A = this chain, B = another copy of it.
Amino acid sequence: MSRSRNIQAVLIDLSGTLHVENQATPGAVEALQRLRATDLKLKFVTNTTKESRRFLFDRLRQLGFKIDLDEIFTSLSAACDLIKREKLKPMLIVDDAALEDFGDVSRFEGKPDSVVVGLAPEKFNRPCLNEALRLLLDGARLIAIHEGRYYKTSSGLSLGPGPFVKLLEYAAGVKATVIGKPNAEFFQAALKSLAILDPHSAVMIGDDVRDDVGGAQQLNMAGYLVRTGKYRVGDELKIEPKPFKIVDNFASAVDNLIDSL
């Protein structure tokens, strides 16, 4: 890494990068400790929409990661902020586990004026999607917590929320407001929470070549692509410019980063 970057902050993806399901990636716990021993500022930025911040926090602690709740920045809480700020009455296509972060926004009278799509495997069915279609055709606004294509599960790659957002966009002839990665606003809000104004002085580490690496690099951050989680051979060819670095896993990314300081 060029010293001219003067790295001050690191944004780190969670699922697929720090851990895959209920297992930390090799050496990740110790690597995070090494990273904390530097004076770099850290934020954990995640498009996970299925679990609340508290749930993510508890899981990371159980896997041995030293982390604070307010270091976690999620697309779910960003979506919730938007709903409250704009006083929306949303139809929430989000997992029950995520409803904790939404508080009482789902308590309102009358017809929903918006459709919020998260990762809700058990709600991605035709009756629910038809209901959303009809609301959108009647003028409801479409909000995507993120547009991830797919994610890794123990039974193989599974559809993320993005494909269902595209389904609804096409069906109703509308365009979604997207909240999470790879949106510039999302990365900027995370950096702002660290008092970092220049993205050029920040690094993003993640397993999603488009949402993590591509999104960060659009903002002129340096993107590290890890070969864990949803990574598939050839992913690095899918974006332009190419990832700043491609490494085996989070621990390798940390070693490379520390070496370059």
Q: What is A's interface to B at a CB cutoff of 8 Å?
A: 121, 124-126, 129-130, 133-134, 137, 149-150, 156-160, 162-164, 166-173, 232, 238
**Cα A130 to Cα B149 with chains together (Å):** 11
Say whether B173 contacts A159, CB under 8 Å. no
Which of B130, B150, B173 interacts with A156 by CB under 8 Å?
A: B130
Say whether B232 contacts A137, CB under 8 Å. yes
Q: Which residue of B lies closest to A210 (CB)?
A: B173
Known contacts A124-B126, A125-B125, A126-B121; decide if A170 and B149 are in contact (CB<8 Å). yes
Residues of B within 8 A of A232 (CB): 137
Residues of B within 8 A of A172 (CB): 149
User: How many copies of this chain?
Assistant: 2
Say whether B171 contacts A163, CB under 8 Å. yes
Residues of B within 8 A of A171 (CB): 149-150, 159-160, 162-163
Residues of B within 8 A of A156 (CB): 130, 134
Residues of B within 8 A of A134 (CB): 156-157
**Cα A16 to Cα B110 with chains together (Å):** 31
Residues of B within 8 A of A163 (CB): 129, 166-168, 170-171
CB distance from A105 to the nearest CB of B (A): 26
CB distance from A47 to the nearest CB of B (A): 15
List, sorted by A's number, 7 A–B pairs whose CB atoms are closer than 8 Å: A121-B126, A124-B126, A130-B158, A134-B156, A159-B167, A163-B166, A173-B238
CB distance from A118 to the nearest CB of B (A): 15
**Cα A30 to Cα B180 with chains together (Å):** 56
Known contacts A163-B168, A168-B163, A171-B163; decide if A126 and B238 are in contact (CB<8 Å). no
Which of B121, B124, B170 interacts with A162 by CB under 8 Å?
A: B170
**Cα A27 to Cα B167 with chains together (Å):** 36
Residues of B within 8 A of A159 (CB): 126, 129-130, 133, 167, 171
CB distance from A228 to the nearest CB of B (A): 17
Q: Indicate the member of A124, A137, A166 with the most B CB atoms within 10 Å.
A: A166
Sample of 11 more A-B contacts, CB < 8 Å, known A163-B167, A163-B171 = A121-B126, A124-B126, A126-B158, A130-B157, A134-B157, A137-B157, A149-B173, A166-B167, A166-B169, A167-B167, A173-B238
Residues of B within 8 A of A150 (CB): 133, 171
